[in-house]
């Protein structure tokens, strides 16, 4: 391994966002954090003490962070400000964002890169409309760790009842948003209670002070999982016949020797080297900036992308997105804009505005346009395809900015939605908190068996997305993909089918042991073969994806039944080869009777229960 990339670092980096309504005490809290963690130099400290005295206080932590002159004059924070401090465990970057509704765009900016959000609430006022807006904004931008700082507890005598009341009213609203981790901290930023030290005035509070939470919350790791997305930033050509592709890995892992597909050309080749400067790397993952060379000369330049060959690569020139409008000039439907996505810029227009969102009530309202600080669900069309994923799967390939081609200003930001929406209130609030920390979950093999066309892949992919969205380590082994890769030499005889299942089972076992939730979808028709795998892996959940033969034949999504009937395929499961259904599957999904969502929810609930 190279000398310059440290794989077992002593300190990592946590990016966090702070938000709150004006006067909830945000500046005070940040000042307190910087002050108590020893981040402030002596001379700055002296200046703060001096300014505090001029205002008649002994020490006012809010003066630590006052920024631009214009703001000082108006006495408010108007833009995102970044602050830095470090402890022995971590370096922290705080995006300090303003609270006013008119500055929601600044909060969106700060939230885009944050791993965690600290939302302030004034204990006397409880949950306000503003709090809801902040929470939703954080959620929309993919932050799944939230700390609720109930500030000014000194003004309510550190009363536990007040704390519990605010907490439960907050949970009412936050439940359906399914946060990975919600923590509530009773606090006095002014006096330092539960900021960096446990307060003696809240003996009823069993949790950690804020700083300890920040030091121990898991940082974003899930990008290392998932499919390879490597947007090419630059082609470096030090000489005529050397080409090196420079970029930052957006997700997945790139490894020398692996097969990759270039988009949009769809040419396949293998990775030759992965390196950075003079260091050769055995692998690179998000967010590493590296250089890559390939075995063959293929058509590849800035704006293109390298993907793995395990799944169908993403490519689209029409997709649904949530747009956050940031310009005083309202959105022009069908007007021409530029869209910057990963490393490419293309022309786009908004072809349809489905609705706008009242961010305070989460109601969807009919709309003719979008104005400053409004959020709308739109369909975007681009003049050439972009290589995108839903935002909740991949923040980098799922996000874009919209640029006005005349003014050159950034007028909006967008996130590609796919299917993710907040679940309705009657949903599964228990799911929200059942996995409190991704780092600690166990591995599991989820084995989906059933006839061709029964719906295994559909359920599998939806479950995969749900897992990713919760920050759970997950991998997918799809029968078809496996057969194109490491079972390429196998046919469909009984021996070969059994061997295929054994291979899948072996890989699934390795992954499960490494605490990955492994989703297998394979016909796997023989009971004995499945039971053998079950016995070997142990942590095993069998899902019988069940639809009657006639239904599957009628669906025939890959045209296989037709070909089997015509005699083009022999030994087809259900027709001239047996399918042996599980006798006592952990879960059965009757895909002819229930909706995909029903099936997915069943599987997800069972997984969450099994990996805790």
Partner 1 sequence: MSHRRLSHLDALESESIHILREVRAEFSRPAILYSIGKDSSVMLRLAQKAFYPGKIPFPLLHIDTTYKFREMIEFRDRLAADLGVNLIVHTNHEAIAAGANPFKLGTSKCCALLKTKALLDALAEQKIDAAIGGARRDEEKSRAKERIFSFRDSFGQWDPKNQRPELWNLYNGRIEKGQSVRVFPLSNWTELDVWEYIERERIPVVPLYFAKPREVIVRGDLVVLPEHNMPWQAGDHLETVTCRMRSLGCTYCSGAIRSQADTVPAIVEELKEFRRSERENRLIDHDQEGSMELKKREGYF
Ligand X SMILES: Nc1nc2c(ncn2[C@@H]2O[C@H](COP(=O)(O)OP(=O)(O)O)[C@@H](O)[C@H]2O)c(=O)[nH]1
Task: With beta carbons less than 8 A apart as the criterion, state whether 37 and 87 touch.
Answer: yes
Residue of the chain from 14, 16, 19, 27 that contacts ligand X (CB under 6 A): 27
Q: Is residue 109 close enough to count as binding ligand X by CB under 6 A?
A: no
Which of the listed partners (partner 1, ligand X, none) does 582 bind, with a CB threshold of 5 to 8 Å by partner kind? none
Residue of the chain from 1, 22, 68, 329 that contacts partner 1 (CB under 8 A): 68
Residue 358 tokens read as 């009242």
Residue 594 tokens read as 């229930």
Residue of the chain from 106, 199, 487, 521 that contacts partner 1 (CB under 8 A): 106
In the complex, what is the shortest distance from the CB of residue 63 to partner 1, in angstroms, rounded to a whole number? 11
The total number of residues shown for the chain amounts to 612
Give me the residue whose beta carbon is nearest to ligand X. Answer: 25
Strand-pair partners of 448? 521, 543
CA pair distance 193, 176, nearest whole angstrom: 31
Residue of the chain from 14, 20, 308, 449 that contacts ligand X (CB under 6 A): 20
Task: With beta carbons less than 8 A apart as the criterion, state whether 383 and 339 touch.
Answer: no
Residue 20 tokens read as 């709150």
Q: Where are the alpha helices (DSSP H) in 95-156?
A: 104-111, 129-140
Of 322 and 473, the one with the shorter C-beta distance to partner 1 is 473
Q: Sketch the per residue contact string, 501 through 530, with partner 1: x for CB under 8 A, - otherwise.
A: -------------xxx--------------
In the complex, what is the shortest distance from the CB of residue 26 to ligand X, in angstroms, rounded to a whole number? 3
In the complex, what is the shortest distance from the CB of residue 186 to ligand X, in angstroms, rounded to a whole number? 10
Which of the listed partners (ligand X, partner 1, none) does 133 bind, with a CB threshold of 5 to 8 Å by partner kind? none
- Return the H-helix or E-strand segment holding 212: helix 210-216
Residue of the chain from 241, 242, 368, 528 that contacts partner 1 (CB under 8 A): 242
| Region of 34-42, 151-159, 341-349, 404-412 interacting with ligand X (CB under 6 A) | 151-159
Residues from 10 through 49 that contact partner 1 (CB under 8 A): 10-13, 38, 40-45
Residue 431 tokens read as 């799911």
From the list 199, 524, 595, 599, the catalytic residue is 524
Q: Is residue 105 close enough to count as binding partner 1 by CB under 8 A?
A: yes
CA pair distance 24, 609, nearest whole angstrom: 38
Which of the listed partners (ligand X, partner 1, none) does 46 bind, with a CB threshold of 5 to 8 Å by partner kind? none
Of 24 and 466, the one with the shorter C-beta distance to ligand X is 24
In the complex, what is the shortest distance from the CB of residue 474 to partner 1, in angstroms, rounded to a whole number? 12
Which of the listed partners (ligand X, partner 1, none) does 430 bind, with a CB threshold of 5 to 8 Å by partner kind? none
Residues from 400 through 459 that contact ligand X (CB under 6 A): none
In the complex, what is the shortest distance from the CB of residue 507 to partner 1, in angstroms, rounded to a whole number? 13
CA pair distance 385, 491, nearest whole angstrom: 37
Residue 439 tokens read as 């780092």
Which of the listed partners (ligand X, partner 1, none) does 45 bind, with a CB threshold of 5 to 8 Å by partner kind? partner 1
Short-list 248, 247, 249, CA closest to 226: 249
Residues from 416 through 475 that contact partner 1 (CB under 8 A): 473
Please work out, in degrees rounded to the nearest 5, the angle formed at the alpha carbon of residue 59 by the alpha carbons of 54 and 64: 90
Q: Is residue 25 close enough to count as binding ligand X by CB under 6 A?
A: yes
In the complex, what is the shortest distance from the CB of residue 264 to partner 1, in angstroms, rounded to a whole number? 18
| Region of 129-137, 337-345, 538-546, 579-587 interacting with partner 1 (CB under 8 A) | 337-345
Please work out, in degrees rounded to the nearest 5, the angle formed at the alpha carbon of residue 307 by the alpha carbons of 302 and 312: 125
Of 336 and 535, the one with the shorter C-beta distance to partner 1 is 336
Residue of the chain from 246, 255, 490, 610 that contacts partner 1 (CB under 8 A): 246
In the complex, what is the shortest distance from the CB of residue 333 to partner 1, in angstroms, rounded to a whole number? 22
Q: How far is CA 139 from CA 102, 107, 108, 112, 398, in A?
A: 19, 12, 10, 10, 15
The residue ranges of DSSP E strands in 35-132, in sequence order, are 81-86, 90-96, 116-122
Of 100 and 273, the one with the shorter C-beta distance to ligand X is 100
Task: With beta carbons less than 8 A apart as the criterion, state whether 574 and 549 touch.
Answer: yes
Q: Is residue 348 close enough to count as binding partner 1 by CB under 8 A?
A: no
Q: Is residue 202 close enough to count as binding partner 1 by CB under 8 A?
A: no
Of 62 and 397, the one with the shorter C-beta distance to ligand X is 62
Task: With beta carbons less than 8 A apart as the criterion, state whether 202 and 208 touch.
Answer: no
Residues from 62 through 91 that contact ligand X (CB under 6 A): 62
Q: Is residue 555 close enough to count as binding partner 1 by CB under 8 A?
A: no
CA pair distance 463, 86, nearest whole angstrom: 38
Please name the residues in contact with 130: beta carbons below 8 A apart, sequence gap of 6 or more. 20, 21, 99, 101
Q: Is residue 221 close enough to count as binding partner 1 by CB under 8 A?
A: yes
Q: Is residue 103 close enough to count as binding partner 1 by CB under 8 A?
A: no
Please name the residues in contact with 505: beta carbons below 8 A apart, sequence gap of 6 or more. 445, 532, 533, 536, 537
Q: Is the dihedral of CA 146, 152, 156, 158 positive or negative?
A: positive
Which of the listed partners (partner 1, ligand X, none) does 155 bind, with a CB threshold of 5 to 8 Å by partner kind? ligand X
Environment class of 489 (CB within 10 Å of its CB; exposed 0-12, middle 13-18, buried 19+): exposed
Environment class of 157 (CB within 10 Å of its CB; exposed 0-12, middle 13-18, buried 19+): exposed
| Residue 37 annotated among the catalytic residues of the structure | no
| Region of 184-192, 393-401, 434-442, 513-521 interacting with ligand X (CB under 6 A) | 184-192
In the complex, what is the shortest distance from the CB of residue 128 to ligand X, in angstroms, rounded to a whole number? 13
Q: How do beta strands 259-263 and 268-276 pair?
A: antiparallel
CA pair distance 286, 254, nearest whole angstrom: 9
What is the size of the binding site for partner 1 (CB under 8 A)?
84
Q: How do beta strands 316-325 and 444-449 pair?
A: unpaired
Residues within the interface to ligand X (CB under 6 A)? 20, 22-28, 62, 151-152, 154-155, 188-190
Active-site residue set? 524
């Amino acid at each position: 391994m190279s000398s310059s990339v440290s794989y077992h670092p002593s300190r990592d980096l946590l990016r966090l966002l702070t938000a709150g309504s004006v006067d909830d005490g945000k500046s005070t809290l940040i000042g307190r954090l910087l002050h108590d963690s020893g981040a402030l130099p002596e001379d700055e400290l002296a200046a703060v003490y001096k300014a505090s005295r001029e205002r008649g206080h002994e020490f006012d932590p809010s003066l630590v962070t006052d920024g631009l002159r214009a703001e000082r004059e108006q006495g408010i924070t108007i833009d995102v400000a970044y602050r830095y401090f470090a402890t022995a465990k971590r370096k922290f970057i705080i995006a300090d964002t303003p609270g006013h509704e008119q500055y929601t765009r600044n909060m969106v900016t700060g939230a885009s890169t944050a791993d965690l959000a600290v939302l302030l609430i004034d204990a006397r006022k409880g949950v306000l409309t503003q709090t809801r807006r902040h929470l939703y904004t954080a959620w929309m931008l993919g932050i799944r760790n939230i700390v609720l700082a109930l500030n000014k507890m000194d003004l309510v005598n550190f009363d536990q009842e007040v704390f519990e009341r605010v907490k439960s009213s907050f949970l009412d609203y936050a439940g359906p948003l399914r946060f990975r981790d919600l923590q509530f901290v009773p606090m006095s930023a002014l006096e330092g209670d539960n900021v960096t030290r446990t307060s003696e005035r809240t003996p009823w509070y069993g949790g950690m002070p804020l700083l300890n939470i920040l030091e121990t919350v898991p940082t974003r790791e899930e990008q290392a999982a998932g499919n390879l997305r490597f947007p090419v930033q630059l082609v470096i050509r030090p000489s005529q016949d050397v080409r090196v592709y420079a970029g930052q890995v957006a997700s997945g892992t790139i490894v020398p020797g692996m097969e990759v597909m270039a988009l949009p050309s769809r040419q396949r080749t293998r990775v030759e080297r992965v390196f950075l400067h003079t260091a050769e790397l055995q692998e690179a993952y998000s967010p590493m900036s590296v250089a890559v060379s390939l075995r063959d000369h293929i058509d590849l330049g800035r704006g293109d992308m390298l993907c793995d060959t395990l799944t169908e690569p993403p490519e689209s020139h029409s997709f649904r997105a949530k747009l956050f409008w940031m310009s005083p000039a309202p959105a022009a439907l069908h007007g021409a804009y530029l869209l910057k996505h990963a490393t490419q810029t293309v022309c786009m227009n908004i072809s349809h505005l489905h609705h706008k969102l009242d961010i305070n009530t989460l109601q969807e309202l009919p709309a003719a346009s979008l104005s400053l600080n409004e959020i709308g669900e739109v369909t975007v069309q681009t003049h050439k395809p972009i290589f995108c994923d839903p935002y909740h799967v991949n923040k980098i390939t799922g996000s874009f900015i919209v640029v006005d081609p005349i003014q050159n200003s950034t007028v909006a930001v967008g996130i590609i939605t796919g299917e993710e929406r907040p679940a309705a209130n009657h949903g599964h609030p228990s799911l929200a908190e059942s996995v409190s920390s991704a780092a600690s979950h166990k591995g599991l093999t989820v084995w989906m068996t059933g006839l061709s066309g029964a719906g295994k892949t559909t359920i599998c992919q939806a479950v995969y997305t749900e897992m990713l969205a919760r920050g759970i380590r997950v991998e997918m082994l799809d029968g078809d993909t496996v057969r194109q890769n490491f079972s390429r030499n196998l046919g469909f005889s009984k021996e070969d089918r059994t061997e295929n299942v054994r291979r899948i089972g072996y890989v699934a076992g390795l992954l499960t042991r490494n605490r990955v939730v492994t989703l297998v979808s394979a016909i796997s028709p023989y009971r004995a073969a499945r039971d053998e795998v079950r016995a070997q892996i142990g942590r095993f959940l069998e899902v019988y994806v069940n639809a009657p033969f006639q239904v599957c034949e009628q669906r025939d999504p890959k045209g296989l039944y037709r070909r089997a009937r015509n005699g083009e395929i022999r030994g087809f499961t259900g027709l001239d080869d047996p399918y042996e259904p599980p006798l006592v599957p952990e879960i059965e999904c009757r895909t002819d009777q229930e909706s995909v969502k029903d099936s997915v929810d069943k599987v997800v609930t069972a997984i969450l229960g099994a990996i805790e």
